[in-house]
Amino acid sequence: VADPLAAALRTIPDFPTPGIQFKDITPVLADPSLFSEAVDRLKAPFAAAGVTHVVGIESRGFWFGPALAERLGAGFVPARKPGKLPAATIREHYSLEYGADALEIHADALPAPARALVHDDVVATGGTAAAAARLVRRAGAEVVGFSFFVELAFLDGRARLLREAEGVPFRAVLRVD
Ligand code: AMP
């Protein structure tokens, strides 16, 4: 039986720039039973990990992130582009498949002994999630996992994140080769 989540994933060629095969998950968001199944499958590997906070990466880590946090009984912490968060922040720079940027979290968002799960919709090279993990650690918290809806396996973000955070579990609901 085909995976209904994989079937709902849409690939848009040459977006936002030529050569990028963009993974569009909006059909999953638009269907309540697919959305619920996606959050269940994001939750399952971390259900017993003692997660206290899900750190969701702007913008598309905000789609599943709060629902995942709620289902884990955890809080949600947004990692945002610079200048968006109102209180005192810490910042990390990173490079990605199509550009370079930075992320911030509130400096007081992860009080000890926080156990954070880093989440985004898609992992490509892993640079963005690596920056989020550095933020979590600088905030004084432990990174207990990396959680993605889609892994672009050919870009090997998994290996990049293993180098950044040795021994930290990496899970993706769907894998694209
Ligand atoms: P990276 O830092 O290379 O892992 O890039 C991950 C970030 O870029 C995430 O926020 C993804 O949502 C987004 N991204 C990169 N490549 C793609 C792609 N082919 N389709 C959808 N989103 C992508």
Report CA-CA distances (Å) from 66 to 39, 60, 117, 143: 10, 11, 12, 17
Q: Is 83 exposed, middle or buried (0-12, 13-18, 19+ CB in 10 A)?
A: exposed
Q: What pLDDT is stored for residue 100 in this prediction?
A: 75
Among 105, 167, 162, 160, which residue's Cα sits nearest to residue 137? 105
Which ligand 1 atom sits closest to the C-alpha of 20? 19
Which ligand 1 atom sits closest to the C-alpha of 24? 21
Q: What pLDDT is stored for residue 1 in this prediction?
A: 67
CB atoms within 10 A of CB 65: 27
Q: What pLDDT is stored for residue 98 in this prediction?
A: 64
**How many angstroms does the Cα of residue 79 sit away from the middle of ligand 1?**
15
| Closest protein CA for atom 19 of ligand 1 | 22
Q: What pLDDT is stored for residue 82 in this prediction?
A: 95
Q: What pLDDT is stored for residue 157 in this prediction?
A: 96
**How many angstroms does the Cα of residue 2 sit away from the middle of ligand 1?**
25
Residue 97 falls in the annotated catalytic set: yes
Q: What does the pLDDT look like over 127-138, one tens digit per residue?
A: 999 999 999 999
How far from the centroid of its chain's Cα atoms is residue 59's Cα?
Answer: 10
| Closest protein CA for atom 5 of ligand 1 | 124
Q: What pLDDT is stored for residue 175 in this prediction?
A: 97
**How many angstroms does the Cα of residue 20 sit away from the middle of ligand 1?**
10
Pick out the chain residues at pLDDT < 50.
none
